[in-house]
Amino acid sequence: MNDANTLNAKRVVTAFFRNREDADQAVEALVDAGFDRDQISVVAGGEAGSQQPYEEMGFWEALKELFLPDEDRHTYAEGLRRGGYVVAVRTAAGEYDQALLILDREGTVDLGEQESAWRSEGWQGYQAGVPLAAGDNRDQVIPVTEEELRVGKRDVSHGRVRVRSYVVETPVEEEVSLREERVEVERRPVDRPLAAGERAFDERTLEVEERAEEAVVSKQARVKEEVILKKRSDDRTEKVADTVRSTKVEVDDARQPRGTIRR
């Protein structure tokens, strides 16, 4: 996945997909998230296995519009030559992170891993400074060239932070004091005369209820801690230093002026 700054200060996020279905799903996900279709472009590759040069397959010029470094442009071009698709979305301020997340989860191919796989199959990758051929009957030409430093940006993943919550059951024990009542029936022998006021031969019923306490368990969920993931973006300026080459021509003219006699 790649991003670049365009002249109108918009950032372009690009992603490579192996097939049209994944590319279309990424486009629809971007549209569903609120991106305008005019912001999105798709570069379709050629027939898988084609051996034609990049320049003859039509998509080379389209890749130039994305302001990619030459090495990345050649990698994308190789993927297109193998039948893949490139989805690019031009993002305004505040849209970049959202576009990056959508393309990252919609089947995008890790271009670094894919490039290593292609190289293991014999692909040479980007090669700068390929000499031009000249025929015997053509003018002998020395091109005077000068390199220009073009600085783009590549989005590199530094890993993810994943927080997962799960439920753990822990046995707990508590002691509770319970009260229990018991009714005891006791019969004791006596031998005494009926006291004054006591009524003999009356029908009576005595009833005593036994009661006991039972343990009742209830649970209440309480929030003890909150885990918050925040994503902060900081802008920094980095000075990029490199060397650029240019061709210098020295002409050593050893010819004699016409009409001059060498002694």
| pLDDT tens figures, 31-62 | 998 888 888 888 887 765 555 544 444 565 66
> What pLDDT was estimated at residue 3?
55
In this structure, is residue 7 part of a structural domain?
Answer: yes
> What pLDDT was estimated at residue 258?
59
Q: Give the confidence band of 205 by pLDDT, cuts at 50, 70, 90.
A: confident
In 3D, which of 242, 42, 64 has the Cα closest to residue 148? 242
Contact 84, 109 (CB under 8 A): yes
In this structure, is residue 62 part of a structural domain?
Answer: yes
In this structure, is residue 31 part of a structural domain?
Answer: yes
176-202: average pLDDT: 84
Distance in angstroms (rounded) separating the CA atoms of residues 97 and 231: 10
Q: Give the confidence band of 142 by pLDDT, cuts at 50, 70, 90.
A: low
Q: Which own/partner pairs from 204-213 qualify as long-range (CB within 8 Å, at least 24 positions apart)?
A: 208/183, 209/183, 210/181, 210/182, 210/183, 211/181, 212/178, 212/179, 212/180, 212/181, 213/178, 213/179, 213/180
193-198: average pLDDT: 80
219-228: average pLDDT: 87
In this structure, is residue 196 part of a structural domain?
Answer: no
> What pLDDT was estimated at residue 128?
59
In 3D, which of 164, 166, 156 has the Cα closest to residue 229? 164
> Measured between alpha carbons, how far apart are the two ends of the chain, in Å?
72
In this structure, is residue 121 part of a structural domain?
Answer: no
In 3D, which of 3, 110, 125 has the Cα closest to residue 74? 125
Q: Give the confidence band of 141 by pLDDT, cuts at 50, 70, 90.
A: low
**With 50 as the cut, is the pLDDT of residue 202 above it?**
yes
The domain in which residue 52 lies consists of 2-113
Q: How many domains does the chain have?
A: 1
Distance in angstroms (rounded) separating the CA atoms of residues 134 and 206: 129
**Could you give the count of Cα atoms lying within 13 Å of 199 in the half-sphere of its Cβ?**
3
> What pLDDT was estimated at residue 56?
46
Most confident of 23-32, 160-169, 254-263: 23-32
Question: If 0-12 CB within 10 Å is exposed, 13-18 middle and 19+ buried, where does residue 82 land?
Answer: middle
Pick the range with the lowest mean pLDDT from 85-99, 124-138, 146-160, 219-233: 124-138
> What pLDDT was estimated at residue 234?
82
Helix (H) or strand (E) holding 100: helix 96-105
In this structure, is residue 109 part of a structural domain?
Answer: yes
In 3D, which of 15, 158, 6 has the Cα closest to residue 75? 15
Beta strand segments in 65-198, E: 85-91
Whole-model pTM? Answer: 0.44
Residue 52: give its domain's CATH number: 3.30.70
232 to each of 28, 102, 124, 235, how far by Cα in Å?
Answer: 27, 18, 39, 10
In this structure, is residue 9 part of a structural domain?
Answer: yes
In this structure, is residue 219 part of a structural domain?
Answer: no
